[in-house]
Amino acid sequence: MKTDSQALRAVLALAALAFLAASAAGCDKIETLIRGHRCVLSDRDIHPDMAAEVAVEGGPSGRACCIRCAITYAQQTGKKVRVASVTDYRTRKPIAPDHAFYVTGSNVAPCVGPPMEATAGRRECCILGFDRCAPSTVAFASEQDAIRFQREHGGRIETFAELARSTGGRLVAAKK
């Protein structure tokens, strides 16, 4: 007969094995569930290859799901959003936002959910007309990586200055 402590150890061992198996399979959702990585601007999951480190003037600071979420936040609220870093999509390493090359509007959009559709038997139909993380904006440390990505996935290449102009100057690179 097992004691309570033996049963607890068995449960913890099984949980650890499940976590290791999911991690080995590349399951980013496990990291999100365990560490609670949520966007400070939208409360969405943070994708490890899209995250941005941001601070809103008079508001939240921390990790955002993507640079596009920060752009939308600045446009909608009129608040200044300082970006300390963005994530290089290829290497998952942080880079200075004003040194990155961005591909906007590609067919890769991890933050954007599927469009809403009508359910069978219902007469109503909804189509998602707005998503705060669309169009996707993917960051790269290397211009060559951005060009290769654009050729495969579409979109247009932009600089941080161009992204900032779209917010009326409310998106700024944080000074180190």
Rounded CA gap, 92 and 56, in Å?
Answer: 23
CB 107 within 8 A of CB 154: yes
pTM for the model = 0.71
Q: Give CA–CA dist 144/118, Å, rounded.
A: 42
pLDDT tens, per residue, the chain with 176 residues: 556 777 667 656 665 555 555 555 454 444 444 444 888 988 888 888 999 999 999 988 899 999 999 999 999 999 999 999 999 999 999 999 999 999 999 988 777 655 444 445 555 555 555 567 778 899 999 999 999 999 999 999 999 999 999 999 999 999 86
The strand ranges marked E within 2-131 are 52-56, 61-64, 81-87, 94-95, 101-104
